[in-house]
Structure 1
Amino acid sequence: MPYAHAGEDVRLFYTDDGAGEGPPLLLVHGWGADSHQWSWHLDALARRRRVIAADLRGHGYSSVPPEGNTPRRMAADLAALLDALGIDRVAAVGHSMGGQVVSILAVEHPGLVERLVAVDPGYGMAPELAGMLQETVTALRSERAHEAAVELDRWCTNRRTPPVIRRWHRRRLSGMPPHVLAQAFEAMFVLPEAIGVRPASDAYLARRRCPVLALWHDPAQAAWESGLLEHPDSAVVVWEGASHRLHEERPEEFTELLLGWL
């Protein structure tokens, strides 16, 4: 499988499948996962589009640097990957932390992102959750980091989530380098430059100029983001009753929604 260098200290694993008209799809996984998260979707998407699915730094088969495992560095890595592949425009799709990463890519490298799909993205947290988020970072920096990560993952599913999806994510979280879990989570929600908590989310995400499709399981979060989307081709969709892993729970419906909007 292919690898690409994204700076001196990082080599990214990625797959490159399919063909078709329109900008390629760039699929970006969430915190503590890897690009296998898109296994439920790749075949159907690749029949219509070229599809690039990468493991972010610190995740999957990509390099695990001792520092810098943050969404901003991950977005810069993806820009370097696209440059290495000679791709000048993509439709970027990100789940959870990946939704934050592709949003950063769209803001910092606007010429690269023609359209953006944020799947239950890792931003827009209410300010009153700040204390809990700091407690999570502390737990992720402790000796019980993997236990804390797996406990956090319980929030990401509900009674409708198939057991195979629960198990898939528990196993990956249990094998993650603890320092990556801590650095990435802290950079998403706690550090001064973090964009995961309001009002920092509002100010930063308003800078996205491309059309955005935002898919949420929470109607309140969906209503909040709808107020930030100015491009006339943008849309917000709510799947009530789904969990944070909505695209894995309903892969055919997600693929149909994604390709239809594109």
Structure 2
Amino acid sequence: MGGNDVEHSHGMHVVHDGARQAPPLLLVHGSGASGGSWAPMVPALAGHRHVIRIDLPGCGHSPPAPPYDVPVQAARVAALLDDLGLRHITAAGHSSGGYVLTALAEQRPDLVGSLTLISTGPALDAFLPQPAVLRALLEPPLGPLLWPLRTDAMIRKAIRATAVRPVDVPDELVAGVRSISYRTFRAMDRRTTAYVAERSVPERLAALRLPLLVIFGAADPRWEPSSAHRYERVPDARVELLPGVGHLPLLEAPEATGELLLGFTAADAGAPPVLP
């Protein structure tokens, strides 16, 4: 797994790219994925930021570590940031990674200066019927049988099922997905669903008054794309829909997604990345 520096902390595999003196940017992947999701965007981001990618417990190079409740995951990320001596970071989450970061901001508002959510559904009623290949692989009764038989080609097919543009799936991401057990994936999925069912994400964020950027593919097949506008109820929120893009802006439109992210976080560029 490439990067300037690799470490393990609080049960998580952590990759650092870019200069440590640059403003920090934390990237959190979605469930069933890994830090490799961000690979196409990292070179451009690392030219301006200290990019920190993590593999959540049970994903990628991180060993399983139940429970997988979203607030528990957020507390682990908070402990990592405390160890790194970071405050007021810019943070971006893809899909359910956005829920972990929302919970982080709820628990520790001192750690998050601004938040970007990419393809993060606002509430369960915005969830769409999933592509057949995903239902077969992820849900009982076929899921537990097919999961151990996954080939690299099957993993790539499943990932591409959520895109609407042709995408190159990084080897790094395929390897990270392969390491996830079916048991871990299902546990994470259940706990993520419970977090969103308890309270919608826009409602949670409205109470925090945190600068927010929401990026959605205008053709997302996993979440109703128009549901992105629900985030407009959040003070200081900006919503961007990418035309002709599905659930994977990180892979389908990495340049446009990276430009939006860097532009949004530019205001934080002067924030001190390390505690005095």
Matched, 1:216 2:216: yes
1:157 corresponds to 2:163: yes
Q: Verify: 1:2 aligned to 2:6, yes or no.
A: yes
Q: Provide the TM-score with structure 2 as the length reference.
A: 0.77
Distance 1:80 1:27 in 2: 15
Check the 8 A contact 1:20/1:47 in 2, yes or no: no
1:190-230 deviation per Cα after TM superposition (whole angstroms, max 9, x unaligned): x3xx21x4863343233332100000124411212212x11
Distance 2:161 2:208 in 1: 28
- State the Cα distance separating 1:104 from its structure 2 match: 1.1
Contact 1:226–1:235 (Cα < 8 Å) also in 2: yes
Instruction: Compare relative contact order (CA 8 Å, sep 6+) and give the higher one, 1 or 2.
Output: 2
The answer (yes or no) to whether the contact 1:16–1:52 under 8 Å persists in 2 is yes
Shift of 1:20: 7.7
CA RMSD across the alignment: 3.3
1:111 counterpart = 2:110: yes
- Give the alignment of 1:1-262 within 5 angstroms: 1-6=5-10, 11-19=11-19, 23-65=23-65, 67-126=66-125, 138-139=140-141, 142-145=144-147, 153=159, 155-158=161-164, 160-162=165-167, 164-165=168-169, 172-189=176-193, 191=194, 194-195=195-196, 197=197, 200-218=200-218, 219-227=225-233, 229-231=234-236, 234-262=237-265
- Cα displacement (A) at 1:260: 1.2
- Please list the CA deviations of residues 20-56 of structure 1 after superposition, one character each: whole Å capped at 9, or x if unmatched: 8774100111111111111111111111111111111
TM-score for the superposition, normalised by structure 1 = 0.80
Change (3 A) 1:43 1:169: closer
Q: Is the 8 A contact 1:146 1:174 kept in 2?
A: no
Identity of aligned residues (%): 29
For 1:257 and 1:17, the matched residues in 2 are separated by 19
In structure 2, C-alpha distance between the alignment counterparts of 1:127 and 1:249, rounded to whole Å:
22
Match in the other structure for 2:222: none
Which 5+ residue runs of structure 1 have no aligned equivalent? none
| CA distance in 1 between partners of 2:242 and 2:38 (Å) | 19
